[in-house]
């Protein structure tokens, strides 16, 4: 065999798999048709977090009493910084894989049979294959001349007027960031609320804040057409037409299965995803699938975990997936995070009772802990500044089977947002 393992796609999951396999002396080929490190690093979570971070600081200073702040944002310059920052991450991961001995080929990888993969007119034999080709935005016929995540994160100026079609987490993150950076923002969502994939009370806290920021939210609304001339004209059922500079389409993502040669091998699907078992193995026993292409939730950290599981199984360790506590974050205002599951019993503390949040001039949101009858922590929903950084603690607590009392008795530094979790765990007075 030319290789022990060939990975098609080099995103979050592949990177983790490859490093693990390489450290255990496996011969690894990684095939990438675009940029090393995938959608999240190059076009998704990383650039969006950078933009959101800037928008939050601007908004915080603009609304801080006593602070009189003016700014001019040269987005072309900022994009250069963003690219250099991403390049640092991308080359860091690529160089680590190379230094551990990975072979990397740029091109479109396709499975010829269960032990052969072709790329750039070469064919390589391999014992195992890992498919990690990610996902792409849903495109709607007739209204596809719009911006998606890649384009919106590459703008060279802040649009005067932005219409976001789809009020899921990507749309709402971008709506919040661009509003804070000065855009007039419209959100059109077919469902009866924004963030339909998120717990309702978390979504409500974001909806409330967006409305106070004067974002125009149209729920239960259907886009009829999007026409592009110099500007966009967006027709929404039962609303006046909206003229806009930029239209972001964010109505979901679909797995990238097109070029893989799945048909050659009768690889089973689950809807549009590649079907995998609890070892992340497809119905063909030496072929694994990880990350977005292998099923929801489409999250980079789920891909990391999948990558670990696949690598361990290839290394002969019988490890299975356990999504008991899968954190989910939306970088909005307030920042909302969820992990574990909702149970009947819960305890809720308002952000107003968290001094650290007040020092940041933030007063919206809550800490909600879900627990079993015996006091075991089952889930957490947090709408609070920097909640992304504290939901890991709740995930760890749930995975370890800890109780509300364990959390309550753990000293948390003061003043922090994290102590809101401790305070919310005080169910015995």
Among 69, 138, 268, 269, binds a copy of itself (CB under 8 A): 69
How far apart are CB 38 and a copy of itself at their closest, in Å? 12
70 in contact with a copy of itself (CB under 8 A): yes
From 60-68, 128-136, 261-269, 286-294, span contacting a copy of itself (CB under 8 A): 60-68
How far apart are CB 282 and a copy of itself at their closest, in Å? 22
Task: List helix spans (H) across 266-399.
Answer: 300-314, 355-359, 387-399
Which C-beta is closer to a copy of itself: that of 32 or that of 306? 306
Cβ atoms of residues 289 and 283 within 8 Å: no
418 in contact with a copy of itself (CB under 8 A): yes
How far apart are CB 409 and a copy of itself at their closest, in Å? 7
Cβ atoms of residues 147 and 248 within 8 Å: yes
Among 163, 202, 248, 325, binds a copy of itself (CB under 8 A): 325
89 in contact with a copy of itself (CB under 8 A): yes
What does the per-residue mask of binding to a copy of itself show for 391-410, with x meaning CB under 8 A? xxx-xxx-xx-x---xx-xx
279 in contact with a copy of itself (CB under 8 A): no
Q: Angle, to 10 degrees, between the axis of helix 75-99 and the axis of helix 45-62?
A: 140
What does the per-residue mask of binding to a copy of itself show for 349-378, with x meaning CB under 8 A? ---xx-xx-xxxx-----------------
429 in contact with a copy of itself (CB under 8 A): yes
How far apart are CB 259 and a copy of itself at their closest, in Å? 26
5 in contact with a copy of itself (CB under 8 A): no
182 in contact with a copy of itself (CB under 8 A): no
280 in contact with a copy of itself (CB under 8 A): no
Coil vs helix vs strand at 34: coil
From 190-198, 222-230, 231-239, 381-389, span contacting a copy of itself (CB under 8 A): 381-389
From 213-221, 259-267, 288-296, 418-426, span contacting a copy of itself (CB under 8 A): 418-426
From 56-64, 138-146, 187-195, 253-261, span contacting a copy of itself (CB under 8 A): 56-64
Among 27, 33, 34, 75, binds a copy of itself (CB under 8 A): 75
- Rounded Cα gap, residues 296 and 329, in angstroms: 15
- Rounded Cα gap, residues 332 and 235, in angstroms: 27
What does the per-residue mask of binding to a copy of itself show for 299-318, with x meaning CB under 8 A? xxxx-xx-------------
- Rounded Cα gap, residues 108 and 136, in angstroms: 16
55 in contact with a copy of itself (CB under 8 A): no
Cβ atoms of residues 193 and 207 within 8 Å: yes
CA distances (Å), origin 249, targets 144, 172, 272, 320, 387? 8, 11, 20, 36, 27
**Among candidate residues 380, 388, 363, the one with its CA nearest the CA of residue 422:** 380
- Rounded Cα gap, residues 167 and 123, in angstroms: 43
- Rounded Cα gap, residues 9 and 134, in angstroms: 8
386 in contact with a copy of itself (CB under 8 A): yes
Hey, CA dihedral for 145, 149, 152, 155, is it positive or negative? negative
412 is catalytic: no
- Rounded Cα gap, residues 190 and 78, in angstroms: 34
The whole-angstrom distance between residue 207's C-alpha and the CA centroid of its chain comes to 19
Which C-beta is closer to a copy of itself: that of 20 or that of 116? 20
Which C-beta is closer to a copy of itself: that of 11 or that of 171? 11
Sort residue 371 into left (φ over 0), alpha (ψ -120 to 50) or beta: beta
Tell me the backbone φ, ψ of residue 103, rounded to 5 degrees: -95, 135
60 in contact with a copy of itself (CB under 8 A): yes
Residues annotated as part of the active site: 414
């Amino acid at each position: 065999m030319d290789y022990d393992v060939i990975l098609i796609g080099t995103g979050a999951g592949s990177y983790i798999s490859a490093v693990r396999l390489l450290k255990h002396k496996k011969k690894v080929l990684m095939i990438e048709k675009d940029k090393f490190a995938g959608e999240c690093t190059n076009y998704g979570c990383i650039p969006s977090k950078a933009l959101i971070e800037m928008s939050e600081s601007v908004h915080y200073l603009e609304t801080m009493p006593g602070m009189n702040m003016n700014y001019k944002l040269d987005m072309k310059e900022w994009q250069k910084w963003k690219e250099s920052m991403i390049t640092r991450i991308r080359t860091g991961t690529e160089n680590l894989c190379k230094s551990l001995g990975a072979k990397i080929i740029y091109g479109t990888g396709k499975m010829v049979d269960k032990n052969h993969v072709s790329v750039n007119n070469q064919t390589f034999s391999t014992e195992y294959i890992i498919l990690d080709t990610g996902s792409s935005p849903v495109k709607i016929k007739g209204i596809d001349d719009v911006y998606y995540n890649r384009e919106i994160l590459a703008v060279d100026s802040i649009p005067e007027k932005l219409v976001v079609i789809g009020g899921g987490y990507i749309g709402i993150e971008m709506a919040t960031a661009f509003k804070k950076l000065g855009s007039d923002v419209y959100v059109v969502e077919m469902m009866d609320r924004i963030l339909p994939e998120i717990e309702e009370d978390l979504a409500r806290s974001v909806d409330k804040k967006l409305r106070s920021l004067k974002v125009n939210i149209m729920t239960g609304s259907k886009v009829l057409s999007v026409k592009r001339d110099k500007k966009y004209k967006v027709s929404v059922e039962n609303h006046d037409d909206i003229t806009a500079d930029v239209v972001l389409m964010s109505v979901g993502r679909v797995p990238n299965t097109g070029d893989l040669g799945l048909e050659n091998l009768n690889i089973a699907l689950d809807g549009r995803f590649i079907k995998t078992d609890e070892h992340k193995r497809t119905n063909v026993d030496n072929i694994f699938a990880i990350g977005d292409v292998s099923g929801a939730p489409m999250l980079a950290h789920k891909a990391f975990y999948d990558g670990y599981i696949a690598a361990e199984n290839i290394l002969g360790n019988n490890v299975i997936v356990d999504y008991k506590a899968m954190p989910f974050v939306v970088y909005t205002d307030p920042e909302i995070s969820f992990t574990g599951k909702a149970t009947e019993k819960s305890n809720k503390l308002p952000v107003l009772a968290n001094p650290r949040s007040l020092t940041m001039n933030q007063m919206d949101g809550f800490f909600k802990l879900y627990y079993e009858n015996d006091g075991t922590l089952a889930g957490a929903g947090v709408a609070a500044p920097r909640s992304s950084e504290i939901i890991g603690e709740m995930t760890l607590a749930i995975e370890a089977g800890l109780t509300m009392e364990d959390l309550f008795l753990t000293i948390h530094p003061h003043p922090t947002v994290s102590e809101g979790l401790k305070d919310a765990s005080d169910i015995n007075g």
